[in-house]
Chain A
């Protein structure tokens, strides 16, 4: 595995409301075509790190005050979310955040508009999502707010894929889902990664499943990287098991 890095974070520090230091010193990197896991307890700073990358911390009155973020070699530390989406970097937010009053299909559509596709391209993109998530096809006319948690997670991921991303930031995809549904979601992530070479940076509390599917992992504690390594190695390190991973 020595593909070039698609994403690099150099010692970034993120502050909310000008006083709350949520991420103190995080450096990490994602190789093109890989799946990288971000593990850690509640409040460790996983979501903040992801939102900093996607240009979304500003919407919550947060700011990257130190360090640099590079995407495909370009400095995107202060880039706007919309520009990043256009360059193929999309985030799936923690808690799914579907548009509840839009239908499943409208939710999916909304993910593609940023790249201004022609009608034909739009429908091809939609076909692709239904290929990966056949379950959504039956629900396409339903309001997203009334679908199940697992289905909403599929809508959220599908919506992100509509942008034709190269790198997807997935924030706690397993949150609140039954084990079978978690497997199903991770299977699709695996498939997208294998077949379409989409890279993933995903945050998880469920270390077991994350380590099983990811290639590389970082453990975040109190806004810092506490440990990192190949997932094969991380999952057998005794010192990490009880301390961070709850395995």
Chain B
């Protein structure tokens, strides 16, 4: 039983890392209905920019702020060059645009900072910690804490500020948002900037775990099942989806692995997501349209 709990806890904590990437998707999807394939590239771009600045001797927070500024510049550029000209186009067009964008961003990152692998040491010990008789990774605990703070900040932003109300209004009804005088271009820029910030946080944590390298942008693929399970429109759903994926892939690896063979971790989340698609296509927390007139 103790062993089960340990695996479960480890899985849940690891899942938080998936949630972090998924949240970036949710933000952009909610506000503009665009499935932003470039989120992974943004994670990479942020991590690579940060680590390169840091290696050049700029202190942690200085590098953090500068990277954040570069994410803002990126958001501004994306809105100007990609989103604005494509306004009112069908979602598939925008999706294809973000697909292209992901290569542009990766290329840009490479052009700026080169393509070698960087180690990123955030100074968090890898020693497992003993909590209530269980061994828990300190790094995972830290990541979970960061994710918790991030979600808290986002929910304050969304629920308590004018910008937040405006963002939710745009997510609900774009025509009505225009009619009350909301400038959609501005909102998109803000949303992409916030998604860039989330990408930066995710990039630092993932980078610290895997090293900062180009495969980092592939974390998008892990976010997909999280989104399918949690729903594309809910930050809370992204968290819960991440936890479910994290926990179930670890449990499957340990308990089903010996029966069907190892490596389950890699495909189990997708099978789980498929099952969810059959049962609950809008995800656990996906907003269903309010069908009242």
A5 contacts the other chain (Cβ, under 8 Å)?
Answer: no
Q: For chain A, what secondary structure do more than half of its interface residues adopt (helix, strand, loop), or is it mixed?
A: helix
Question: What is the bound-complex CA distance between A91 and B174, given in angstroms?
Answer: 14
- Chain A contacts with B in 37-83, Cβ cutoff 8 A: 54, 56, 59-61, 80-82
A residues near B172, Cβ cutoff 8 Å = 99-102
Which residues on the A side are within 8 Å of B289 (C-beta)?
100
A100 to chain B, nearest CB (A): 4
B92 at the interface (CB under 8 A from A): no
What is the size, in residues, of chain B's interface with A at 8 Å between Cβ atoms? Answer: 24
A13 CB to closest chain B CB (Å) equals 21
Interface of chain B residues 239 through 293 with chain A (CB within 8 A) = 287, 289-290, 292-293
Q: Which residue of A lies closest to B186 (CB)?
A: A82
Beyond A101-B290, A143-B290, A146-B290, is A93–B179 a contact (Cβ under 8 Å)?
A: yes
What is the bound-complex CA distance between A196 and B183, given in angstroms?
A: 28
Q: Which residues of B contact A159 (CB under 8 A)?
A: 180
Instruction: For B159, give the chain A residue with the smallest CB separation.
Output: A106
* Nearest CB on A from B249, distance (A): 32
Residue on A nearest B287 in the bound complex, by CB: A101
Contact A99 B168 (CB under 8 A): yes
Q: Are A81 and B287 in contact (CB under 8 A)?
A: no
- Contact A101 B179, CB 8 Å, known A61-B88, A149-B293: no
Instruction: Flag whether A113 is at the interface (Cβ < 8 A).
Output: yes
Determine the distance from Cα of A97 to Cα of B177 in the docked complex, in whole angstroms: 9
For residue B166, CB closer than 8 A to chain A, the reply is yes
Residues from 10 to 27 in B contacting A, C-beta threshold 8 Å: none
Contacts of A92 in B (CB 8 A): 179
Residue A241, interface by CB 8 Å: no
Contact with B along A148-163 (1 / 0, CB 8 A): 0100000000011001
Q: Per a CB cutoff under 8 Å, which of A59, A98, A145, A163 touches B88?
A: A59
Chain B CB within 8 A of A114 CB: yes
Given A82-B181, A113-B165, A99:B173 Cβ within 8 A: yes
Q: Give A51 Cβ to nearest chain B Cβ, in Å.
A: 9
Point out the residues of chain A lying under 8 angstroms from B168, CB to CB.
99, 101-102, 106
CB distance from B206 to the nearest CB of A (A): 31
A218 at the interface (CB under 8 A from B): no
Q: Is the CB of B176 within 8 A of A102?
A: no
Q: Does A85 contact B (CB under 8 A)?
A: yes
**Residue-by-residue, is B156-183 near A (CB-CB < 8 Å gives 1, otherwise 0)?**
0000001001101101111111111111
B residues adjacent to A (C-beta < 8 A): 88, 162, 165-166, 168-169, 171-183, 287, 289-290, 292-293
The 19 listed contacts between A and B (C-beta, < 8 Å) are A59-B88, A81-B179, A82-B178, A85-B179, A85-B180, A100-B289, A101-B168, A101-B290, A106-B169, A107-B169, A110-B180, A113-B165, A113-B166, A113-B180, A113-B182, A145-B290, A146-B290, A160-B179, A163-B181
